[in-house]
Structure 1
Amino acid sequence: MARAPARSSPSVNRALCRFSGDAPFGSGMDSPSSKPRFYRPNRYDATTHSEGSSNPMSASITEATLPEAGLRAEIRLLGQLLGETLREHEGVALYELEESIRQRTKELRQHYDAAEEEAFVAELGRIPLDDAARLVRAFATYFQLVNLAELERQARSVAETTEDAGELDRSIARFKAQRIPAERVTATLEQLEVRPVLTAHPTEAVRRSILDHQDRIGQELARLRAPLSARERDRVRQRIATQVEVLWHTDEVRSVRPRVLDEVGNALFYLERTFFDAVPDVQQQLSDALVRHYPGIRVPADPPIRLGSWVGSDQDGNPNANAAMLSETLRLQRRTLLTRYRERVRELARDLSQSTRLTRVSDELVVSIRRDEEELADYAETLSPGTADEPYRRKLSFIWRRLGATLDAESAAYASADDLAADLDLLDTSLRQHRGGAVADGDLLRLRRQVRAFGFIGARLDVRQHRAVVRAAGIEVVNRLGAASDRRRSATLNPPPISLDASRWSPATGNLLATLSAMAAAQRSAPGSAQTFILSMTESGDDVLQTLFLAGLAGLHDLAADPPR
C-alpha cells in the first residue's frame, strides 16, 4: 500500500496541530505550553484546562457547565458523544489508536522534535488502510461537529448583539446624514432587487441527509443554552447522541454521482432552512432602520430580496438537466412553499383566537369569511362551532384549506400567490383598524413578507444553454420552415405555428423547444418563475436572434403585439 512520506506536508502539519489538544472525542482541547515552528494558532489557544487533562469529561460535568461555558463546552460534549459512538460501534482498539495519535501530536506540539515528527509520520503510513480510513472519517466527523457548533455560536452572537445595529442601519444613517429625502429612499428601495442565485457545483456532494442531521444537532444545541431541568437536559443530550450516532453511520458522500434531482433537493434544503426565514429577518432589519432614522417614512411592502437559482435549470453541458427536470424543479419548489405556508397558517390559527364578543373586525373580513363559507361549504361544516365568534381563526382555517386545495390542484385553489397575499392583508388591515397593531406586526407580518418574497415560486429559475445547441436548433427549425437566410429568419421572429413535439425533432432540438415551452407554461401559471434564458458563449447578434426566434415559437414573446412582449 502507499506509504506516507518521511516529511508531512504543510496540510498534514496543520491537521496534526489541530489534533494535538485534549482528546477530540473526550474532553476538548488544552493550551500548549510552547509552540513549535509548524504550529498555527487558533481560537482554542486560551483555555483553562491543564496540560494533563486528557480524561473524557463526564456527562454530568458537561451538562452542568454548558449554559455558562459556551462554545468550548458544546465542542467538548459533541466530542464526548462521538467518542462514545466510536467505542460502541468501531471498538476500543480504534478508539485507543485515535487516542495514541492524539497524544503523540499533542506532545509534538508542546515539545517539538523533528526526528520524532519524521518517525511519527512514518508510523502513520503503516496504519492499515481500513483503520486509516476510519480514523480520517472520525476526525473529519469531529471537525464537522466543531464547525457546526462554531456556526451556531456565531449566529447566536450576531442575533444577540445590540451594540452594533448592523450595516443596514449604518447605510440608512448615512442617507439621513446626507439629507436624502425619505421619498427618494422609498422610491429607490421599491426599485431595488437583490437576487442571490443558488448553484450546484459538481464537487458539492454533501447529501441532504447529512445536512438534516447537522441541522437537528444545531437545534438541540440551541435548546441546551436555555435554562433546563436536569431531566430536560438529559433528554436533549440523548437526542444529540442519537443524531451523532446516526451521522456516524450515514455516508457523507453518495456512492453514485449526484443526480440533478439530488442537487435540487439540496437547494430546497437551503430554501426551507435558511432563506425562508432569513429574508423576512433582513426586511425587518431594514424596516427598523428606516423607521429609526426616518420617522413616519412609508416602508415598502415588498422585500428587496428575490431568490434565484440555476439548480435544475442549467442545461449547459448537462444532458440530465432537461425540460422535464425544469418542470419538476418548479413543481417541487411550489410544493415546498405551499407546505410551509400551511404550517405557518395553522400556527397563526392557533394563536389568533380573538373573539367578536371582545373586539371588532373589519366588514371586509366578515364578507370574505362568508364567501369562504359558501365556496368551501363542506369544509365549513367540519369547523368547530366555537370558531363562529373567532373570525381571525376562522379565516385562517379557510386559508389553510385553500392552500391544501392549491397543493392538490382542486377547484378551490388559489389562482396565484397574490390571492393568498390579499387574504393575509385582510387580516392585517382588520387588526390594525381595531388596535391590534402589535399582533399584526408579529408572525402574521412575517408570513406576509414570506409570501411576497417567495410567492408560489421560491427561487426564480434561470435557464442556461450553450449557443451551439441554440444554433443547431435554429438551423433545424428554419430549414423545416424553408427560411434559410438571415433576412428570412428575421422575418420569422413571429413564425407560423409549428409543432413543438419533441419526437419530431432531433433530441437536442426537441429538448430545447420543450424547455422553452415549459418556461412559457411556467410564466403563465406563475409569472417570474422562469423568465430568464442565459445563452452561454455568445459570439454574435445572430446567436441572440436565433434564441428570440425559438422563444417566439414557444410563445415566450410576441414582437407583433402592441406593446411587444
Structure 2
Amino acid sequence: MTPSSTSNTAQLRQNVRHLGEILGQVIQSQGDAGLFEAVEAIRLQSKQSRDDDDQEALRALLTQLNEKQILDVARAFSHFLNLANIAEQHHTLADYSQSLFSATASLESAFQQLLKDHEHNCLNTVLKNLSIDLVLTAHPTEITRRTLIHKHGEINDCLTRLEILNDKAAASSKDHSRLKELISQIWHTEEFRSDRPKPIDEARWAFAVIENSLWDAVPQFLRVVDDICERYALPIPPPNWSPIRISSWIGGDRDGNPNVTAKVTREVLLLAQWQACTLLENDIVTLYEELSVTTASTALEEATEGALEPYRFLLKPLRDRLQGQRLNIEKALNDQSLAPAPLTLSEIVDPLEACYESLQAVNLDVLARGYLLDTLRRVHCFGPYLIQLDIRQESARHTQAIAELTEALALGDYRDWNEGQRCDWLRGELDNPRPLIPAGWKPTPETQEVIDTFLVIAETPQSALGSYVISMAAEASDVLAVQVLLKATGCTTNMLVAPLFETLDDLESAPRVVEELLSDNAYRDRCDHQIMVMIGYSDSAKDAGMLAAGWAQYRAQESLLSVCKKFAVKLQLFHGRGGSIGRGGAPAHDALLSQPPGSLENGLRVTEQGEMIRTKLGLTPLAVIL
C-alpha cells in the first residue's frame, strides 16, 4: 500500500476501496441473508441512476425492502461513509500530504503572503499579538459513542502502518487482520448512546479530548512556529508565550438546559482542576526521570542548597504537591466535602522556569528546549485549571432576579420599568456601597439558582473563568443587570460580560446597545476599557437566511468596531459558529478572511461545537493542522 507518487489522491481512493471491501466481507459473512446482495444492488443502481438522471429504478429497489432491511441497509451505507471519512482524515495527516495540509505549509503560506504586503519586522509583531481562544461547547451533542470513536482511531493507526508496506506484505500483515477485526466489531456495536449524557459526562468527554489530543497538540504546534521563526530569522518565542487558550461552555452553559445547575458548575470546575493536576503530574514525573543532570547555574545551586541533582531537588516537591492536590480533589469529589484551595500558576511555573533558565545558563539549551519547554508551554496554556469556564444564561432570568429584588425592596416591579429607568437604577446600584440583597430574602427557586450560580463565580479564582455570556441580549440593561448581580454576590465587577446578539433585530441594534454602555465613564472603567461581544450565527440564519444573516453579521461587526474606536475601547469579538453551514460553519481560513478589517485585532475567539470537536480536534496531528 505504498503511496502513489503520481497522484496525491490515489492512496486515498485505494484506502476507501480497501475499507469498503472489508466492510462488504463483514456484511456478507455476518449480516442477514441477502443483505450484502441488497446493499450491492442499491450501490450499483445509485451510480447508474446518477449517470442516467433517472431515479425510478432505484426507488423500485428501495420500496421492496421491509423495515428491518431498510435499517440494515442504512447502517451499511452509514458505516461505509464513516470509513470513507476516516480514510480522508488519514489522507490529510499522511506524510505524503504534508506539503498541502500540514501546519508548516499553512504557516509558510501565511508568512509569504504577509511579506508581500508588509515589512519583515511586521511578522514578529503579528506573532506577539497572536491570540486564539477555542471555546468547547456541548451543543450540538456528540452522539457517536466513545467506544466507536476509539475504534475509528485504531483504524487510522492501521492505515498509517499499512502504507509503509508494499501491497503483498500489507495483504498478509497483522494490521490487515486487525482492520477486519475492528470493522467486524463496529458492525455489531450499537452506534448511539441509549441515555442522554449528563453535563458531567459531557465535561469528562471534553477533558478526554484535551488529554488525548490537545495536551500534545499545543506544544507541537508551537514547535512548528519555532521552526518557521528560525527559517525567517525571527526571534524564537519565549516559553511563556501562550497564543492559544482553551475555554469551555460545558458545565457553564445553563441557557435552555435546566440540568446545568450551580452544583454542576462547581463540580465541573473541580473536575477540570483534577484533570490538570493529573496531566501535569505525569509531565513532572517524566521531567524528574530525564533531568538527572548535575550541571547547574550558580543561582540554581544556591537555591537547591548544593544538591547533587539540583533539577530533581526542585521538581520533587512540585510532583508531590500535584499528587497531593489530585488526591484531595478526588476526596472532595467522592465525599462531596470541602475542596482544597486551588493551586496558583506561579506554584507550578516558578520551579520549571528556574530549571529552564539554569539549563540555558550552562549551555544545555538542547535540554532546556526539549520536554521541559513543552511542559512550560502546556502550563502557560492550560494552567492549574485546565480550561477557562464561561458562564451563559438567558437575559430573562436576570430580569426576573432583579424584579424579585426590587419587589422585596418595595421599589415596584423592575419588569414594568422602561429602559431608561432600568439603566438609571442599575447604574445607581453599581455605585452604591450598601448591600443590595436584603436579609432574609426568599427568592423563587428559579432566581435562587441564578443567585447560587453567581455565588459559585464569587468563590472561583478569576483565572479559572472566562466570560459571562448573556444570550438573547437586546438592551444595555441586560448587561448592567449582570454586573449588579455580580456586585451583589461578592464577585468582581470587572469580569467580562459579553452580550450575545443572536437574532437579526438584535444584530442590527447591537451597535446602539454597545454605544449606550460605553458612553458611561464608570462602565468603561469597570471593564478596563475592553469589551467582549458575541455574534450568534444560527438564530440569525433561521431569521433571515444565510446570505442576509451573513451580511447583517458583517455590518454589525463593522459598526461595533467603529463604536469601540470612538471610545478607545478594545473590542473582542466572540464568534458562536461552527458545524453545519446553517450554524455558521465554514473552512476556518475562508471564515477568517471574510471578517471585517480590524475585527481580529484583539484575537480570535470562536466556539468549537459539540459534534465537531472530535472531527477537528480529536487526534493530535489533526488538531495541530486545524
- Relative to the length of structure 2, the TM-score reads 0.65
Q: Which residue of 2 aligns with 1:496?
A: 435
Q: Offset of 1:158 from its aligned partner?
A: 8.0
Query: Secondary structure of 1:455's match?
Result: helix
Change (3 A) 1:334 1:156: farther
Aligned letter for 2:483?
L
Residue correspondence of structure 1 range 349-498 to structure 2 within 5 A: 349-350=288-289, 352=290, 354-356=292-294, 360-366=295-301, 391-392=310-311, 395-409=314-328, 415-482=343-410, 489-493=426-430, 494-496=433-435, 498=437
Indicate whether 1:289 and 2:224 are aligned.
no
Decide whether aligned partners of structure 1 residues 270 and 297 sit closer, same or farther in structure 2, where only a CA change above 3 A counts.
closer
TM-aligned CA deviation for residue 341 of structure 1 = 2.6
Structure 2 counterparts to residues 65-464 of structure 1, below 5 A: 65=1, 70-105=11-46, 112=52, 114=54, 118-157=56-95, 160-161=98-99, 165-173=104-112, 180=119, 182=121, 186=124, 189-202=127-140, 204-226=142-164, 234-296=173-235, 299=238, 301-350=240-289, 352=290, 354-356=292-294, 360-366=295-301, 391-392=310-311, 395-409=314-328, 415-464=343-392
For residues 100 and 368 of structure 2, the distance between their equivalents in structure 1, rounded to whole angstroms, comes to 24
Q: State whether residues 303 and 449 of structure 1, in contact with CA within 8 Å, keep that contact through their aligned partners in structure 2.
A: yes
Contact 1:495 1:552 survives alignment (8 Å): no
Question: 1:317-353 CA distances to partner (integer Å, 9 max, x unpaired)?
Answer: 2211221222222223333333233333334444x25
Corresponding residue number in structure 2 for 1:385? none
1:239 deviation in Å? 4.1
Unpaired runs of 5+ residues, structure 2, are 5-9, 330-338, 413-420, 495-521, 528-626
Kept in 2, the 8 Å contact 1:463–1:534? The answer is yes
Distance across 2 between alignment mates of 1:134 and 1:367: 71
The answer as to whether partners of 1:403 and 1:414 remain within 8 angstroms in 2 is no
Question: 1:447–1:219: structure 2 CA closer, same or farther, 3 Å change rule?
Answer: farther
Which residue in 2 is equivalent to 1:516?
454
- Deviation per CA, 1:260-317: give whole Å up to 9, x if none: 3343344334333443333333323333333333444665732212122222222222
Note the alpha carbon deviations across 1:115-155, whole angstroms, 9 max, x for none: xx523421221112112211211221121011012112102
Tell which deviates more after alignment, 274-283 or 388-397: 388-397
Sequence identity (%): 28
Secondary structure of the residue aligned to 1:505 is coil
Taking a change above 3 Å as real, the CA distance of residues 395 and 132 of structure 1, as seen in their structure-2 partners, is farther
Distance 1:432 1:299, change over 3 A: closer
Larger Rg: 1
Query: Secondary structure of 1:307's partner?
Result: strand
Q: Aligned partners of 2:410 and 2:340: how far apart in 1? A: 47
**Contact 2:247–2:390 (8 Å) recurs in 1:** yes
- 2:476 matched to 1:541? yes
Q: Deviation per CA, 1:234-256, whole angstroms, max 9, x where unpaired?
A: 44344444433333333322234
Q: For residues 190 and 490 of structure 1, what CA distance do their matches in structure 2 show? A: 37
- Shift of residue 510, structure 1, vs aligned partner: 1.1
Contact 1:86-1:95 at 8 Å conserved across structures: yes
Alpha-carbon separation, structure 2, partners of 1:156 and 1:312: 36
Q: Which residue of 1 aligns with 2:576?
A: none
1:46 aligns to what?
none
1:205–1:258 CA contact under 8 A, matched in 2: no
Please give the secondary structure, in 2, of the residue aligned with 1:534.
strand
d(CA) in 2 for partners of 1:120, 1:188: 55
What amino acid maps onto 1:417 in structure 2? L
- Give the Cα separation in 2 of the matches to 1:196 and 1:259: 22
For 2:78 and 2:60, how far apart are their aligned partners in 1? 21
Kindly indicate whether the alpha-carbon contact (under 8 Å) linking 1:431 and 1:440 is maintained by their aligned counterparts in 2: yes
Q: Is the 8 A contact 1:312 1:326 kept in 2?
A: yes
C-alpha distance in structure 1 between counterparts of 2:22 and 2:101, whole Å: 36
Q: Which residue of 2 aligns with 1:31?
A: none
Q: Which fold has the larger relative contact order, with Cα–Cα distance below 8 Å and residues 6 or more apart in sequence? A: 2
Deviation at 1:449, TM superposition (A): 1.1
Distance 1:392 1:240, change over 3 A: farther
Q: CA deviation at 1:534?
A: 1.5
In the aligned structure 2, how far is the partner of 1:441 from the partner of 1:558?
40
Give the 3 Å change call, closer, same or farther, for CA 120–538 of structure 1 in structure 2: closer
CA contact (8 A) 1:308 1:460 kept: yes
1:173–1:293 contact (8 Å) kept in structure 2? no
SS for the counterpart of 1:70 is: helix
Equivalent pairs counted in the alignment come to: 471
Structure 1: gaps (5+ residues): 1-64, 372-387
The answer to whether the 8 A contact 1:224-1:233 is kept is no
CA distance in 2, matches of 1:113, 1:314: 47
Which amino acid in the other structure matches residue 316 of structure 1? D
Give the secondary-structure state (helix, strand or coil) at the position aligned to 1:555.
coil
Please say if residues 246 and 388 of structure 2, whose CA atoms lie closer than 8 Å, have aligned partners that are also in contact.
Answer: yes
Which structure dedicates a bigger proportion of its chain to strand? 2
The 1:193/1:215 distance shift into structure 2, 3 A limit, reads same
